[in-house]
Amino acid sequence: MMLKAKKLIRNIECLDDTYCDYVIIKGGTYYSKRYNKHITVEKYMPSDGATGAFDVCIDAWGFHDKLCYTGKFDDGTLCSNWQASCIVSDILSERGRWFRSTTWKYATLIGGGGKCRENGIFYTGQ
């Protein structure tokens, strides 16, 4: 499922008390084959895109942002930082962005994660 987003003229507050450049105008659900889990992004969810980098695949960042904001998959199970990083990598890879898939997997693991990082870097304990 491809999300659609609109670049904002001015930033709005994100769900984690930071500021976002995008708002999702068409939500959707991504199914992770790797983890057998769904992630749903609702219409009008704010997103910061690739957090300061050039945005090439907003749906990857929308789904990653949703995981980082909530720390959970749709079924309520906790998501680790590693899982969120692998999912953004999988989406970028599926969209033909193999180089960004690899680099952003590790960049988000090292410098991102939000609630997923709070759940655990590699394991959530569930």
| pLDDT at residue 80, as a whole number | 97
32 is a domain residue: yes
DSSP code, position 76: S
80 is a domain residue: yes
Residue 77 structural domain: 4-119
Comparing C-alpha atoms, which of 70, 69, 67, 56 is closest to residue 104? 56
Tally of structural domains, the chain: 1
Is the pLDDT assigned to residue 19 strictly greater than 80? no
12 is a domain residue: yes
Q: Hey, what amino acid is at 12?
A: I
DSSP code, position 44: T
70 is a domain residue: yes
pTM of the model: 0.81
| pLDDT at residue 3, as a whole number | 60
pLDDT-derived band at 9, boundaries 50, 70, 90 = very low
Answer yes or no: are the C-beta atoms of 94 and 58 closer than 8 Å: no
125 is a domain residue: no
pLDDT-derived band at 52, boundaries 50, 70, 90 = low
Is the pLDDT assigned to residue 79 strictly greater than 90? yes
124 is a domain residue: no
Highest mean pLDDT among 2-11, 24-33, 67-76: 67-76
| pLDDT at residue 124, as a whole number | 86
